[in-house]
């Protein structure tokens, strides 16, 4: 062994079998995290029928194409290793729901295009890597609900990713975005603009309209008398009927129209 080269723990089939856990949902998880592994243990290919595989917090530099043998895999955790690339065969894991490859040494160049084949992927974590851009092809992951892009070297996020139909959370903290507005918008999560529908006067019943008009008159009077203080005034009875994509505006009428 060359001087200074790390010698990782050897994982035997017996050790691997003893590392199988049952996840809360009943799935079989092969948990080899924090084992000091430096090379992918080929013996675990004999346990390729597990639904979850945890190889996180090791010293792995490479994942072989034989990962494709884990056909039932729904959950794959490879975070906190020393991975510089991923095998193209990762695209064959069609049942994959969760993929965490954060805190590695991945570059945009070494992200396989086959990632866009993971059609059932809901959660993808690419944070804490060396990415300077995000492939637009990730826009093919139509089931994606959460994506982590934090602590990279991104200057922008492609629209194909920002506009994914089911995306709920996008963490892009600590990236050198060229546009400060974009950095703020995508720092913690997707902030979708919701259309605000205001009820017009013609949609209000006469009693509601009378109450709102009375409060409006009070507001105008106070505004003319004390313009400097009107900014901080509160009018609990001045109810603006509004909703986000509600068709039935009756729900937003004043509930109690009598003192």
Question: DSSP secondary structure string, 132-156?
Answer: SS--GGGGG-TT--EEE--SS--S-
Tokens of 209: 């309209």
pLDDT surpassing 90 at residue 138 = yes
> Which candidate, 97, 94, 98, 32, places its Cα nearest to that of 59?
32
Q: Residue 123: in which H helix or E strand, if any?
A: strand 123-125
DSSP for 58-101 reads S------GGGGG-TT--EEE--SS--S---GGGGG-TT--EEE-
Q: Is the pLDDT of residue 91 over 60?
A: yes
Q: What is the DSSP string of 9-34?
A: PPPPHHHHHTTEEE-TTS-EEEE-TT
For residue 22, give Cα distances in angstroms to 14, 27, 50, 126: 17, 6, 10, 26
CA separation for the pair 185, 187 (Å, rounded): 6
| Contact present, 105 and 128 (Cβ < 8 Å) | no
Rounded to an integer, what is the distance from CA 155 to the centroid of its chain? 18
Domain 13-171 has CATH 3.30.70.1170: no
What is the pLDDT confidence band of residue 217, given thresholds at 50, 70 and 90? confident
- 193 has a pLDDT exceeding 70: no
Structure tokens at 116: 């866009």
Average pLDDT of the residues in 223-235: 46
- pLDDT of 13 reads 96
Does residue 253 have a pLDDT over 60?
no
Task: Report the mean per-residue pLDDT for the chain.
Answer: 79
Answer yes or no: is pLDDT of 103 > 90: yes
Does the global pTM surpass 0.85?
Answer: no
Residue 201 has pLDDT above 90, yes or no: no
- pLDDT tens by residue, 2-40: 444 556 789 999 999 999 999 888 999 999 999 999 999
Nearest alpha carbon to residue 65 among 50, 91, 87: 87
In the predicted model, is pLDDT for residue 57 greater than 60? yes
């Amino acid at each position: 062994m060359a001087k200074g080269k790390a010698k990782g723990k050897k994982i035997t089939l017996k050790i691997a079998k003893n590392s199988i856990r049952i996840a809360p949902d009943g799935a079989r998880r092969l948990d080899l995290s924090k084992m000091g592994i430096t090379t992918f243990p080929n013996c675990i290919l004999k346990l390729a029928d597990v639904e979850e595989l945890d190889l996180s917090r090791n010293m792995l530099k490479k994942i072989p194409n034989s990962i494709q043998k884990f056909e039932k895999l729904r959950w794959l955790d490879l975070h906190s290793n020393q991975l510089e690339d991923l095998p193209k065969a990762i695209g064959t894991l069609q049942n994959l729901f969760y993929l965490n490859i954060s805190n590695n040494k991945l570059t945009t160049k070494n992200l396989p295009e086959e990632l866009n084949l993971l059609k059932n992927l809901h959660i993808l974590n690419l944070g804490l890597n060396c990415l300077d851009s995000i492939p637009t092809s990730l826009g093919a992951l139509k089931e994606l609900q959460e994506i982590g892009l934090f602590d990279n070297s991104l200057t922008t996020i492609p629209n194909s990713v920002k506009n994914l139909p089911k995306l709920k959370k996008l963490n892009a903290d600590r990236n050198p975005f060229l546009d400060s507005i974009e950095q703020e918008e995508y720092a913690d999560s997707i902030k979708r603009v919701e259309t605000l529908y205001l009820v017009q006067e013609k949609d209000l019943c006469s009693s509601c309209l009378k109450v709102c008009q009375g409060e409006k008159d009070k507001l105008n009077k106070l505004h003319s008398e004390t313009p400097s203080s009107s900014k901080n005034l509160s009018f609990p009875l001045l109810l603006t009927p509004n909703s986000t994509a509600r068709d039935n505006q009756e729900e937003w009428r004043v509930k109690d129209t009598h003192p």
